[in-house]
Amino acid sequence: MQTIGLDFGTSNTVAMTASMSGTAEAVTFLGDRETVTSLPSVLSFLDKGAAKAPHPEVGPWAIRQFLESFGDVRFIQSLKTFAASAAFKGTGIFGVPFDFQNLMATFLTAAFERAHPQINPSQTRLVVGRPVKFAGHNPDEPLAMKRYRSAFRKLGYDDILFVMEPVGAAFSYAQSLKQDTTILVADLGGGTTDYSLMRFETSAGHMHAHPLGRGGIGIAGDTFDYRIIDNVVLPKLGKGSQYKSMGKTLDIPPYLFSYFARWHMLSIFKTSDDFKEMKKLLRWCLDPDQIELFIELVEEDQGYPLYKSVSETKALLSANEEAELTFKPLGPDFKASVSRHDFESWIAPDLLKMNRALDSALERAKLSEDDIDRVFMTGGTSFVPAVRKMFADRFGTERISGGNELTSVANGLALIGARQDAADWSVAA
């Protein structure tokens, strides 16, 4: 029996395998050109004609299929953000209907086919991370977990435990503790920010954990990316422009542009009535060139290239006071300078909400900042300087720890699964 810890993330998916000896190793995903341990959570389908089912690919191979294929390709990203959305009933892909659980099962099947070591569902305990709070407006948590369970059943897994993602990160970090410690884990990913408060104690050489509280909010790296897109890119695509109707000059509805900013919504927007209306508006627009470019980018599935460009710019701002954003679909000469100061002003309202969510978690746990011995920050968004400053201002830099930001959750999940008391760490599915 092997144990797999699975961190199915909004941006990346990581899996680790653990032995009863208490060690964990990364599961690698093999391809003909590259091998990865952090798999981009993207899925693409290549249309092979009416006689054949669309061919799915994942991770870097999905990206390559999307960018290099001469056929029709459907590209899906940020799948996790749909998990708790009752509004998302599914989508059609080249005439084949896919609901959320089928999309998730397709992604995981294609991923595990590339996994090394091989994963046999009948001989595997799967420990799956779940966010404290699912992303999205008014998330339906029971629905999300129902969809998760359905997806894993499709893959043939029976021995499944669900563990809060920050609990996995906390357990990973706790392996290095030398004394009893109260920990705040801040798991800052792509779609969500999750907090977990835990007390770790060692008795007779055996580590025990006492959950003290948890909280979270559907704001993280994707939201920060949106702020850059909203302030830098969308004005070039017609946001704020107007159209004529019955002798009146009206603003083009801003919500239409938010679909493009949130790239995981493009697959829905592209086939929506809203997009049809946008194309009808084109003839009445006062600045039709910008709106025409907007329509073209949607139809050509430019969400991923935009995501890549924005993510690179955001990463550069973590080490530099200024970074250049380039996005060729806006024109070969398009360049925009983004300062860290402006970026931090754009995300300031989001940081405030993240801070308030932490306030709530501490209050429910009846803890103050002084009660926290260590703060462990994990997830890709923990690299953002303004985020690190937010925690340093509250707890002091001397109490802040990090490391293994992209693997700590999966590592902890795998180690939990290898314990005899693994079920005690899980939450109701």
Report the alpha-carbon distance of residue 298 to residue 295 in Å, rounded.
5
> What local confidence, expressed as pLDDT, does residue 2 receive?
86
Residue 232 has pLDDT above 50, yes or no: yes
Query: Model confidence over 331-348: pLDDT tens digits?
Result: 778 889 999 999 999 999
Distance CA 327, CA 325 (A): 7
Per-domain boundaries in the chain:
2-164+419-425
What letter does residue 43 receive in the DSSP assignment?
E
User: Tell me: the pLDDT tens digits for 183-195?
Assistant: 999 999 888 899 9
Q: Are strands 73-77 and 55-58 parallel, antiparallel or unpaired?
A: unpaired
Does domain 2-164+419-425 fall into CATH 3.30.420.40? yes
Confidence bin at 79 (pLDDT 50/70/90): confident
Q: Output the six-digit token pair for 29.
A: 């995903």
In the block, which residue shows the tokens 């992303």?
Answer: 135
Place of tokens 């009808």: 280
Mean pLDDT of 117-133: 89
Dihedrals phi, psi of 313, to nearest 5 degrees: -65, -45
Per-residue pLDDT, averaged over 270-274, amounts to 83
Q: What is the mean pLDDT of residues 33-40?
A: 89
- How far does CA 227 lie from the centroid of its chain? 16
pTM for the model:
0.81
DSSP, collapsed to helix, strand or coil, labels residue 96 as strand
pLDDT at 429: 44
Distance CA 84, CA 358 (A): 22
To the nearest whole percent, how much of the chain has pLDDT over 90? 47
pLDDT of 201? 86
pLDDT of 129: 94
Q: Residue 320 contacts by C-beta under 8 Å, 6 or more apart in sequence?
A: 340
Q: Please give the mean pLDDT across all residues of the chain.
A: 88
Strand intervals (E) in 84-180: 91-93, 96-98, 115-116, 124-130, 160-164
Amino acid at residue number 94: F
